[in-house]
């Protein structure tokens, strides 16, 4: 018996800035420029720079910054933001993995940007898992994230696993993709993920966990900076003593 499960899910964007063109000298034809092959760097929403912590000092797991939904029919959904202000709070290995994942899809992300022509976008990594026997279907582009008084729907889905485009799962199978959203979607604000008639809860708990980890990561970074400064002073003092 085939199980059909229609999905609506919402995902968060990574903001992207545009570069100003170079103006040629008077009388010189303007050169033809080619769009860059790599996606624009991830940028937090306006005013969110203060939320960034130095990389390498986080301790969270991916599940600590993720939303989960279990739907009738055995379909389970996990979504987590690729926003830089979130993934820097992951353990160093997880942060490196998420950064490499984003960079590995640079060409695809650039195509989405050129097609949508939005000034910024947000990225979420979404996993679909089938728990029950039979075939379970999912529809990633019918996802909704309710945030800042708006309903955000994916502009595109960039597959991370083979067979994602078939939109169906066998029992115990997982399919994954990066969902691309309008950059106005802000994961640092309350949000709800909606799939069919099911709504996720728990994002407020994620935000509280994230705020605690930001404070701890800054404290670790400051302690490391003090240790480095002290070690440099000791090295300089030792060198001066040898020259006397």
Instruction: Name the residue ranges covered by the structural domains of the chain.
Output: 49-243
Q: What percent of the chain has pLDDT over 70?
A: 78
Q: Which residues of 19-30 are buried (b: 16+ CB within 10 A; e: fewer)?
A: eeeeeeeeeeee
Other CB atoms within 10 Å distance of the CB of residue 110: 17
Mean pLDDT calculated for residue range 210-222: 96
Q: Which residue has the higher pLDDT, 103 or 2?
A: 103
Question: pLDDT at position 200, please?
Answer: 93
Residue 111, SS3 per DSSP: helix
pLDDT of 195 > 70? The answer is yes
Confidence bin at 210 (pLDDT 50/70/90): very high
Mean pLDDT calculated for residue range 4-16: 37
Tokens of 37: 């092959």
Give the mean pLDDT of the chain: 83
pLDDT in tens, 79-92: 999 999 999 999 99
pLDDT of 37 > 50? The answer is no
Question: How far apart, in Å, are the Cα atoms of 129 and each of 10, 38, 169, 179?
Answer: 17, 30, 7, 16
Confidence bin at 239 (pLDDT 50/70/90): confident
pLDDT of 6 > 70? The answer is no
Question: pLDDT at position 175, please?
Answer: 97
Whole-prediction pTM value?
A: 0.76
Contact indicator for 53, 210 with CB cutoff of 8 Å: no
pLDDT in tens, 92-108: 999 999 999 999 999 99
pLDDT of 141 > 90? The answer is yes
Question: pLDDT at position 55, please?
Answer: 94
Question: pLDDT at position 216, please?
Answer: 97
pLDDT of 150 > 80? The answer is yes
């Amino acid at each position: 018996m085939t199980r059909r499960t229609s999905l609506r899910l919402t995902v968060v964007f990574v903001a992207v800035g545009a570069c100003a063109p170079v103006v040629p000298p008077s009388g010189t034809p303007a050169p033809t420029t080619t769009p860059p092959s790599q996606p624009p760097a991830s940028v937090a929403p306006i005013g969110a720079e203060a939320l960034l912590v130095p990389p390498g000092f986080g301790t969270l797991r991916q599940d600590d910054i993720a939303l989960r939904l279990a739907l009738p029919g055995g379909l389970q959904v996990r979504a987590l933001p690729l926003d830089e202000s979130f993934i820097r709070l992951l353990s160093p290995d997880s942060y490196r993995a998420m950064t490499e994942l984003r960079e590995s899809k640079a060409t695809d992300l650039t195509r989405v940007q050129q097609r949508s022509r939005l000034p910024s976008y947000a990225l979420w990594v979404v996993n679909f898992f089938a728990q029950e026997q039979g075939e379970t279907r999912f529809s990633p582009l019918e996802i909704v994230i309710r945030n800042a008084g708006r309903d955000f729907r994916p502009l595109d889905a960039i597959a991370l696993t083979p067979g994602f485009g078939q939109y169906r799962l066998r029992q115990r199978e997982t399919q994954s993709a990066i969902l691309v959203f309008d950059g106005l979607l802000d994961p640092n604000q309350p949000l709800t993920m909606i799939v069919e008639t099911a709504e996720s809860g728990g994002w407020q708990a994620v935000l509280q966990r994230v705020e605690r980890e930001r404070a701890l990561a800054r404290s670790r970074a400051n302690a490391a900076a003090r240790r480095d400064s002290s070690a440099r002073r000791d090295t300089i003092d030792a060198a001066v003593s040898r020259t006397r």
